[in-house]
Structure 1
Amino acid sequence: MTHTRFTSKLKYHSRILIAISLLCVGLLGIVGAIALHEHHESWSRFLDHLSAALIVVGLISVIEKVFAERELVARLVDLFGLRRSVYEAGVHDAYVGPENTHFEDLLLGSHQLSIVFNDGYKWCSSTAIATLLCKRFSNPKSTTDVFLLDPACSYIEELARKTRDDGVEVGLERSRISEKIQKTIALLRKLHSEAANSSELNIYTIAAFPTYTLFMGDRSAIVTLYTTTSRSRQPVPVFEVRPTGPDSFFEFFQSDLIRLKNSPETHLMPAPTASVAE
């Protein structure tokens, strides 16, 4: 998906560059025609006409490309019935299944990254994600805030009732969730320590029930929804959103994140001592 977007942008910019090059060559040709006018009038006239043609072609190419892109988008909106509200909401992409999500740009390209999830162990323990986190933690200019359920809060039991398999006691599932939260914290600190603690890592515990998983970067966010019923094996919807205005989804999630961070029930975990970090 990322490669396709890159190729499309490359083709677009290449065409614009060619058109601008034609304009420049045309302008240089006119300068040359003026210089040749006194001694080689016929060549000067030919070069003048050729330069004018190049300038016209270049201008037409630029104008056509810009307006063609706008017209194409308008036609697609009409053809597929895509509502303009989707653009205004800032929905950049939507698909099913977190395995289709590309986190590299978000994790490595964001100065500030905030992550909200229940326990996060499955995500953090992924080899690909762990590698990206190591790279991120090695960047001294990055700040990462991670919000996890407080293992001691009452919401853990409700989550256990929702996610437990048939026949598994709530108490056992609660212990599993609490253990996964502790493992996530330990893993994040280990990865951060391996990166020589180069960047800032803040881990918060929350006494709230996240209704979605959130990965919030500087200019984009990835949101994964949760089911409202018991555990489901079906893939869940994933949205990639970007800020497009005061009413965009990005602004909503950003405001929700700020309220969560400022909640009196949200607590910043103390940084580990040097001996613990090692």
Structure 2
Amino acid sequence: MTESNFKLASRTTIAILALVVIGLVLIVVSLWLTEGFWSQLCSQLSTALLVGGIWTGVYEWFMRKDFINVNREQAKEILDRIKLAQGEESIGLYEVYDDSNDFNYSSLLLQSRQLTILLNDGRTWISTHSEDIKKRLRDREKSTTFLVLHPEAKMLEVMAIKVDSTPANLRAKIAESVKMLRNLSDSDSNVEILGHHLFNPQSMFIGDSIAVVTPYYAARGRRTVPLFRFGDSGDHSYYRKLMEDLHDLKNDAVDISDYERE
């Protein structure tokens, strides 16, 4: 409690006690006078002062109790937010979008000198961002790696069930993605198109110092997914772990830049 709050509480308590004491004194006076105008006046005043004092005391008690409870809740909320902020800072979480479609990939695509992108079949995302991808792939100073599911990956069978499709349709989408990337690039483009046989728990976009992640739901169907943007905040940052993860995945992947639809 601050000094000003303490003074205010002390004054309120003294005022309540004064009302009660004066009320009791007036009761004694009214009994001593026994009857007459002054006796009735003292009796009525004593009743009013006692009721007012007691009512003020009860009200003050409940108000302070509520005030204390509110302060405790606010303090807990502040501490929780501090802990969350510390956690966000330690892993380098900079931004969160509740809808991944609201994120603008242009800066990541056009400014990152090195960029690694992990997708499932990749067709929709590549088509949506084809103009920025084309500008990037025509820039010789930038290197780009696309990692998608291998056309022969067993994961395609599971994914087909999840998205209500077939492995053949998913292979066709992968072939379309490879074809689009070939058309968007030229002979001088520094681009890799790799396929892997493992499982994608999320889409990832790893630039020079920024990582963008969109998780996948476990159940069937398509729903809006959130997006998380991480920065390189140090050795323990999530960015570094994601970068290492994709580096290791590249070692398990093979070139599919010549893959065509069957």
Equivalent AA in structure 2 for residue 139 of structure 1:
D
Which residue of 2 is the match for residue 148 of structure 1?
148
Which residue of 1 is the match for residue 220 of structure 2?
230
Residue among 175, 179, 198 paired with 2:168: 175
Cα offsets for 1:195-252 (capped at 9, x unmatched): xx332011001001111101110110111101111123x2111101111111111011
- Structure 2: any 5+ residue segments left out of the alignment? 1-77
**Separation in 2, partners of 1:223, 1:109:** 18
> Equivalent residues in 2 for 1:109-258 (5 A)?
109-126=111-128, 129-164=129-164, 173-193=166-186, 197-232=187-222, 234-258=223-247
**Separation in 2, partners of 1:184, 1:89:** 32
Report deviation, 1:270. 5.2
Tell me the SS of whatever aligns to 1:125: helix
Which residue of 1 is the match for residue 15 of structure 2?
none
How big is the alpha-carbon RMSD for the aligned residues of Structure 1 and Structure 2?
Answer: 2.1
Report deviation, 1:137. 1.2
Residue among 103, 106, 115 paired with 2:105: 103
Cα offsets for 1:144-175 (capped at 9, x unmatched): 100111111211001111111xxxxxxx5222
Report deviation, 1:255. 1.0
- Structure 1: any 5+ residue segments left out of the alignment? 1-76, 165-171
Which residue of 1 is the match for residue 72 of structure 2?
none
Report deviation, 1:88. 1.4
Contact 2:120 2:149 in 1 (8 A): yes
Give the greater-gyration-radius structure (CA). 2
Tell me the SS of whatever aligns to 2:221: coil
**Separation in 2, partners of 1:91, 1:105:** 18
Report deviation, 1:84. 0.7
Cα offsets for 1:1-24 (capped at 9, x unmatched): xxxxxxxxxxxxxxxxxxxxxxxx
Contact 2:112 2:208 in 1 (8 A): yes
Which residue of 1 is the match for residue 49 of structure 2?
none
Report deviation, 1:269. 2.9
